[in-house]
Structures are given as structure tokens and as C-alpha cells.
Structure 1
Amino acid sequence: MRVVVIDCGLGNLRSVEKALQHAGFLSVRVSYDAKEVSEADVLVFPGQGAFAKASMSLRELGLAKAILKHIEKGKPFLGICLGMQLLFERSYEHGKAEGLGVLGGEVVLLPQELKLPHIGWNQVWIRKREGMYSGLGDGEFFYFVHSYHVVPEDESVVASTTDYGIHFASAIQKENLWAVQFHPEKSQRKGLFLLSNFRSFCESIL
């Protein structure tokens, strides 16, 4: 099972690579090469930073097409933080920018009266108990670093919500597509547990 962690130049991805290995993935590579990405069995797309810059990098490197084809083929995909946000149609971070459009909806700023970015441990409230959160309970803590959040058009894709001034979607689960706003690689034991659930899911459909 070939796992590729997508590198579009935003952030240190080695912690994600190591966390996936700890969760039981044996073959993990970090790559920005469109050919390698297109040949992967599993894609993991982490990231922090500006939505528009990341979206442009994906297109310039030919990664956007590779990601879309991967998802269309029903192969497992995990988006983390910015990697979750880029799955949606558009963001309003520093003006309007287009995302991958895999999911309907947009990315908007958390309430400005709050301390931003939202950094630190916060709880998730589970809507989908099978798959991503199998074996985990309501109120588990995960580590967040973000100022923007997704607003899905289809509420049925929301796997969990989190409270930070408002209730926002902190995870998405739809068929082969999983995505989280928090950082499982920074979330210690619970984060590794979730990544192990992702590995089990990958093994079940590949």
C-alpha cells in the first residue's frame, strides 16, 4: 500500500510522515511530484498557510488533477487542516480563492471577536461513529491551529463538530474521503488512534 503525503511547499510534513508510520503504514513518501501522487494507493494532504497560495501551487505542480482523479477512482484520501479546506469550492481568506471543488461549500473566518488563530486542544462532538471515530468517544481532545473553518453545503458529510465561539465542522467523512481540521499528528495518542482507523479503512477498500 503506497502512501504519498502531498507536499505543496506549506509546512514541515515529516511529523505527518512519522505519525503515519507509527499508525502502521509501512510505505510512506513525501512528494510534490504529480506522477508519484497519481500512482499512490493512499493520499494524505496536510498543510498550514494561505489557501490561495496552496491552491495555486497545486495547479502549477499538476497536483490538483492528480488529487481529483485519485478521489474519483474511490481511493482513500485524508485531508488535514488546510488540506481539508482546499477540498471545498472557495475560500474568503484574503479575498476570494477557488478550491478543488470536491465538496460543495466554502471556507470562512471564525468570529473575529475570538482570539485568532484558534490554537490548542479542543473537543470534538461526533456525528459519525463508524470509520474515523470508531473506538473514540464524544469530547475527545485534538490539537487545532487555524483561523478559518469550512461551511459544507451538505451537512451529511460532517463527521464531527467543535465549539469555538460557534459550532464548526471539525471533520468530514464521505465514502473514500476523510478530512480533519485538527492535526492528528500533533494530537498524541488519540491522533494516532484516528490514523490507525484510517489505515484500517484503507486496508478494507484496497
Structure 2
Amino acid sequence: MIAIIDYGAGNIKSLQFALAKLNKESILTTDPQVIKDAASIILPGVGAFKDAMDAINELGLTDVIKQEVQSGKPILGICLGMQLFYDKSYEDGEWEGLGLLRGNVSRIKEQVKVPHMGWNTIAKRAESPLTLNLTDNFYVYFVHSYAVEKLEEATLVGSTEYGGRVPAIVQQGNITGMQFHPEKSGDIGIQLLANYEEMIS
């Protein structure tokens, strides 16, 4: 069972539909016990970083997420969910994230149209089971105005170019992040989710 954390900031229906295509059972939840009992966790997200962290804190899920990840449970962060893994975001202020990965989140450079919305290519930066059966420069769907700016380079699996380098896939142990929306990225997105599930099973 996959626990999808339902803190009010995710396009969750399409994610559940994509997982169902892979015959993966998922449940939307804010129940700490359900999260603890799940085989893996997905932290989705659209919207503002501070609002998302406030919601997670108010639901009493911050420590639960950290404890489960520290125990080795696989977690996937999608779009804003990936950004929440990092130390800080500078979105309309300075806000603390979950601190699961080292790095900061900043606004995309102004020389390009913001938000970054639409299809863009991913260049592979490291060999990973996540990109198995995918060619280099595969297309996925993005919707975001902020991106990870500073990170540990060893965690970078794939990036795209949009006003500079945008980390698009990161992976460190049991923690995986995708800045784009695999559930909106057609067959490529389904393959990425399948690879993720294969990797953690």
C-alpha cells in the first residue's frame, strides 16, 4: 500500500489514476498510523511552500514523515513535494523545509517566463534505476515557479534547462524527488513511476 499524504496541496486524482494503471494500491491519508503502516509514501504538491509546510505541521505529520524516512521507508516527492524535502525555501520569505535533503529552493531566474509550464526534456546526470528504459532527453511535464538551486551534486539524477539548470530528478537512498509531474507526463511518466516502484520493491 502506498500512502499519499493528503495535506490539501496536490493534484491527487491523476496521481492515483497513474498508480492504478500500474496496479499499485494507494490511499489518501493524513493518519500517522496509516503512513507508518504503508510500504511507501508519496508527498505530492502544488502551491506555496510555506502553506504546504504549515499544513503538514498542523496535521502533526512533520515528525512522522521524518521518522519513517529515517527508518528507511521509501518516499517520493512530486513537484512542490520534492522541494519540501530540502532545508529552506526563499519563496516570499525564508521558510524551513523538512530537511531530508541538503539544499535550498529559489525562484527561477527572471530571464525566462515564470511559471515554467509545459513540456521540457530531461538530461540524465547519473545512472539510476529510475531512468531505466528511457532515452536521454526524454520529455516530461512541468508546472513550477521555484526550483532547487543548491543541492548535493551526488543526488542529481536528471536535470532540465530553464533559465539555467533545474534539478528535475534527485535520489538519495530511500528519498526520491521529481520536480515535474510524472502523472501528467504520459507514457514516460508511467514508466518513471514503474521504475520507482521496481526500485523500491
Q: Bin the TM-score by the shorter chain.
A: over 0.9
User: How far apart are residue 129 of structure 1 and its match?
Assistant: 2.5
- What is the CA deviation profile of residues 97-118 of structure 1, one whole-angstrom value per residue up to 9, with x for unaligned ones? 1100011110000011211100
Assess if the C-alpha contact under 8 Å between 1:48 and 1:81 holds in 2.
yes
Separation in 2, partners of 1:95, 1:176:
30
Residue 185 of structure 1: aligned partner = 183
Assess if the C-alpha contact under 8 Å between 1:37 and 1:63 holds in 2.
no
Separation in 1, partners of 2:161, 2:189:
19
Separation in 2, partners of 1:138, 1:5:
29
- What is the CA deviation profile of residues 136-193 of structure 1, one whole-angstrom value per residue up to 9, with x for unaligned ones? 1211000000000012431110111100120121110111111100000000000000
Q: TM-score, normalised by structure 2?
A: 0.96
User: How far apart are residue 5 of structure 1 and its match?
Assistant: 0.7
Greater alpha carbon shift after TM alignment, 177-186 vs 194-203:
194-203
User: How far apart are residue 38 of structure 1 and its match?
Assistant: 2.1
Assess if the C-alpha contact under 8 Å between 1:7 and 1:32 holds in 2.
yes
Residue 5 of structure 1: aligned partner = 4
**Partner letter of residue 171 of structure 1?**
I
1:97 paired to 2:95? yes
Residue 173 of structure 1: SS of its match in structure 2? strand
Stretches of 4+ aligned residues off by more than 6 angstroms? none
Separation in 2, partners of 1:47, 1:18:
16
Separation in 2, partners of 1:143, 1:24:
23
Q: TM-score, normalised by structure 1?
A: 0.94
Count of residue correspondences: 201
**Partner letter of residue 78 of structure 1?**
L
- What is the CA deviation profile of residues 5-24 of structure 1, one whole-angstrom value per residue up to 9, with x for unaligned ones? 11111133111111112123
User: How far apart are residue 39 of structure 1 and its match?
Assistant: 1.9
Assess if the C-alpha contact under 8 Å between 2:128 and 2:157 holds in 1.
no
User: How far apart are residue 135 of structure 1 and its match?
Assistant: 1.2
Residue 56 of structure 1: SS of its match in structure 2? helix
Residue 159 of structure 1: aligned partner = 157
Assess if the C-alpha contact under 8 Å between 1:24 and 1:199 holds in 2.
no
Residue 132 of structure 1: SS of its match in structure 2? helix
Residue 102 of structure 2: SS of its match in structure 1? strand
Separation in 2, partners of 1:99, 1:6:
16
Assess if the C-alpha contact under 8 Å between 1:126 and 1:161 holds in 2.
yes
Separation in 2, partners of 1:186, 1:50:
20
User: How far apart are residue 202 of structure 1 and its match?
Assistant: 2.0
- The share of aligned pairs that are identical, in percent, is 38
- What is the CA deviation profile of residues 8-47 of structure 1, one whole-angstrom value per residue up to 9, with x for unaligned ones? 111331111111121231x210112222122211101111
Q: Any stretches of 5+ residues in structure 2 without a counterpart?
A: none
Separation in 1, partners of 2:195, 2:151:
26
Residue 8 of structure 2: SS of its match in structure 1? coil
Q: Any stretches of 5+ residues in structure 1 without a counterpart?
A: none
RMSD: 1.1
Residue 81 of structure 1: aligned partner = 79
